[in-house]
Amino acid sequence: MMDWTDRHCRYFLRLLSPSVRLYTEMITTAALLHGDSGRLLAFDAAEHPLALQLGGAEPRELARCAVLGRQAGHDEINLNVGCPSDRVQSGRFGACLMAEPALVADCVAAMKAAVDVPVTVKTRIGIDDRDSYAALADFTRRLVEAGVDGLIVHARKAWLQGLSPKQNREVPPLDYARVYRLKRDFPAQEIWLNGGVKTVADTEGHLQQVDGVMIGREAYHNPWLLAQLEQRFTGAPSPTREAVVQRLLPYVEQQLAQGVRLQQIARHMLGLYHGVPGARAWRRTLSERAHRRGAGPEVIEAALAAVTGATVSTG
């Protein structure tokens, strides 16, 4: 998720769930081809399985970027056909590509020809007045013909004019039935549902109908959900939150030694105690101290101690 997630976030989330597939935020072909691709694609080996999400609309450029991602070690290449921001629209990619199914099919075919890992597409159920089921099914059929390995469908349409990206994640209603229907009509196609999934029970329900679920905001605000999902779907015993934090500390030290500031890592951890005693003490300690100059692992240890103190004092 652009501006929210990064490699530090993914490293932390991986400690909560060894099995979930993690996705990078969208990285544009322009940034990769003209910017510091080494930095943009860097990740820790612990983050596997990891998908690189690309933003672009030019088949040859996307193929070149897919190769860069593959060379960097990504396990899947995903094309963003769901982002409605103005900046993305001015580049004629993201959600507005739903209006150009033939072009998206060319993009998928070009990436498929270039790499040996799955090539997937993240999309919406529709855009603007192009929001019929027939249009979604036609779009899907073309991607299937182009060899797409999986489709992640955000179960709401996007309005390309008049709504901000944030509103486009909240205002258009969720229509899960449409994604379920798509799976019924394309039974051989891997189809994952995205949008508004918040609990293990939500996930279980959707998995009766589709092959997978992608979780965005809830995984960020309440990352413990990933540990709960890991336990539910693999049977692995859940670690304690404290054990997860302890396992993160060597990474923190290693990153600080390379010039990363504690705040860049700690900001992703604020929600770890979401909904349990000590949450406020944890958040407060990290938010007040992690940004200070020279802040190190001792701040995280102090936050843990604050949780324990809060837990004891609240009984």
* Cα distance between residue 120 and residue 61, in whole Å: 16
Other CB atoms closer than 10 Å to residue 196's CB: what's the count? 18
40 vs 17: CA distance, rounded Å: 24
202 binds ligand FMN (CB under 6 A): no
Handedness of CA 293, 267, 28, 97 (dihedral sign): negative
Check binding of 168 to ligand FMN (CB under 6 A): no
CB of 142 to ligand FMN, least distance (A): 20
CB-wise, 217 or 261, nearer to ligand FMN? 217
Interaction of residue 122 with ligand FMN, rule CB under 6 A: yes
**222: nearest Cα among 258, 161, 190, 268:** 268
Rule CB under 6 A: choose which of 10, 14, 154, 268 binds ligand FMN. 154
Q: Does 1 bind ligand FMN (CB under 6 A)?
A: yes
For the segment 61-120, give every residue that binds ligand FMN (CB under 6 A). Answer: 80, 82-83
Nearest CA among 192, 196, 1, 191 for reference residue 85: 1
> Strands 50-55 and 150-154, how do they pair?
unpaired
- Considering CB under 6 A, how many residues would be counted as binding ligand FMN? 21
Task: Say whether residue 169 binds ligand FMN (CB under 6 A).
Answer: yes
Rounded to whole angstroms, how far apart are CA atoms 301 and 307?
Answer: 10
Residue 172 touches ligand FMN, criterion: CB under 6 A:
no
For residues 46 and 16, the answer to whether their CB atoms sit within 8 Å is no
Q: Is 197 in the site for ligand FMN (CB under 6 A)?
A: yes
Between 59 and 84, name the residue whose CB sits nearer to ligand FMN: 84
The number of residues in the chain equals 315
Output 88 or 245, the one with its CB closest to ligand FMN: 88
Name the strands in the sheet holding 50-55, side by side, starting at the edge strand that comes first in the sequence: 22-28, 50-55, 76-81, 119-124, 150-154, 191-194, 212-214
| Rounded CA separation 10/25 (Å) | 10
Q: According to the binding rule CB under 6 A, does residue 163 interact with ligand FMN?
A: no
- Tokens 């103190």 correspond to 309
Stretch that binds ligand FMN, among 130-138, 213-221, 231-239, 274-282 (CB under 6 A): 213-221
CB of 246: closest distance to ligand FMN in angstroms? 28
User: Closest-CB residue for ligand FMN?
Assistant: 216
Least distance (Å) between residue 257 CB and ligand FMN: 29
Q: Is 196 in the site for ligand FMN (CB under 6 A)?
A: yes
Q: Does 29 bind ligand FMN (CB under 6 A)?
A: no
SS3 196: coil
Listed ranges 140-148, 193-201, 250-258, 270-278: which one lies at the site for ligand FMN (CB under 6 A): 193-201
Query: Which is nearer to ligand FMN, 169 or 241 (by Cβ)?
Result: 169
| From 9, 65, 83, 96, the catalytic residue | 83
96 is catalytic: no
CA distance 182 to 176: 10
Please give the C-alpha separations between residue 61 and each of 54, 117, 164, 173, in angstroms, as whole numbers.
Answer: 10, 17, 28, 34
Would you please indicate which residues are annotated as catalytic (active-site) residues? 83
Please give the residue ranges that form the binding site for ligand FMN (CB under 6 A).
Answer: 1-4, 25-26, 53, 80, 82-83, 122, 154, 169, 194-197, 215-218
